[in-house]
Structure 1
Amino acid sequence: MSDNGGDGPRWLDDTEQRSWRALIMGMTLLLDRLDDELRRACDLSLVEYEILVRLSEAEGRQMRMAQLADALAHSRSRVTHTVARMEHAGLVVRRSSPDDGRGVVATMTDEGLDLLERMAPLHVEGVRAHLVDLVSREDFAAVGRVMNAVSDHLVAAHPEMEIR
């Protein structure tokens, strides 16, 4: 489709269209592959892995559920369902917030930390093999800058979401 002189959408040119489609295809295949590798190794999804990572980086290995959802850029209901499955598996526990009693805090268990420590080498090797090592450092840094700009723009458009 071609630009129609300012009336209507600004269509992507051929180069932009190829890049956009490559981004969508690459991200879909990459996330599916990383998820599949974790599921095969330990029946853990990529989202569950990311929850364990966020909790491992937090003080006391714990975060409020709302903060965890914001950090993952996922809906609170999705994170609640995922954490419930993880709690059932013994990887996390949930309790009322000791600060105000209103919020819920998710805390990584020792079992969750042990699983994360065992799976981190597998995951990082997948990230390297399927992304990082395929391009130059400069190209990979450029991808990071692009996605940071996208994240900053989208978070600013939804100020209730705070990515940490």
Structure 2
Amino acid sequence: MPGEKPSKETVLAWARLMRAGRHVLGAVERDLKQAGFPPLAWYDVLLELRRAKGGLRPGALEAELLIAQHNISRLLVRLEEAGLIERRRHPEDGRGQIILISEEGRALLRQMWPIYRTAIETHVGAKLKSEKEAGELARLLGALLE
């Protein structure tokens, strides 16, 4: 029907956004796995902890992640067992925790980045016609985040 919301174009955009996200994420995950690295979620957590110089509380960390992490506590246990993060008591709230990246975590980030960077270029950058097109896509997607 004319004027019906959402429009066919909006529904198509939604479907393609969801499919494209799953497709690219799966391809990046495969590239990391083939190179012998852990899942992208590990990289995502470590990167946010490196950016937060003084560490983050688990809830604040979850809010910063690029990819959905429904069970952050299990992921943090795995990262801690691997020696990639450290947990410390929050200095102002003895019941709270601060999560910090370890030197081993920083080293893993440095090792993973070349594979991740190449995967981003292969599965996103190379499929767009130009940097201008990449910028336009970034702008359009940014509008959805507002």
| Whole-angstrom CA distance in 2 between matches of 1:17 and 1:77 | 26
Q: How far did residue 76 of structure 1 move?
A: 7.8
2:133 aligned residue: 139
Aligned to 2:47: 53
Q: How many residues get paired? A: 145
2:94 is the alignment partner of 1:101: yes
8 Å Cα contact 2:37-2:112 kept in structure 1: no
1:22-60 CA distance string (max 9 Å, x none): 222211110011122223323411111111111121214
RMSD after superposition: 2.2
> Are the counterparts in 2 of residues 92 and 107 from structure 1 also a CA contact under 8 Å?
yes
**Higher-RCO chain (CA-CA 8 Å, sequence separation at least 6):** 2
Specify whether residues 114 and 67 from structure 1 end up closer, same or farther in structure 2 by C-alpha distance, changes over 3 A only.
Answer: same
Any idea what the Cα deviations from partners look like across 1:41-94, whole Å, max 9, x if unmatched?
23411111111111121214x222121111116778622221111111111121
Match of residue 84 from structure 2? 91
**In structure 2, what is the Cα distance between the partners aligned to 1:58 and 1:143?**
28
Ranges in structure 1 where 5+ consecutive residues have no aligned partner: 153-164
**Does structure 2 conserve the Cα–Cα contact (< 8 Å) formed by 1:65 and 1:103?**
no
Q: Could you give the per-residue CA deviations for residues 87-127 of structure 1, whole angstroms, max 9, x where no partner exists?
A: 11111121221232232111111111111101101101100
CA distance in 1, matches of 2:64, 2:121: 23
CA contact (8 A) 2:49 2:100 kept: yes
Question: Residues 74 and 43 from structure 1, CA distance in 2 versus in 1: closer, same or farther, beyond 3 angstroms?
Answer: closer
**Are positions 1:70 and 2:70 aligned together?**
no
TM-score when scaled to structure 1? 0.77
Task: Find the residue that maps to 2:71 and give its secondary structure.
Answer: helix
1:138 deviation in Å? 1.9
What percent of counterpart residues are identical? 26
Letter in structure 2 aligned against 1:72 = L
1:12 to 7, 10, 17: 7
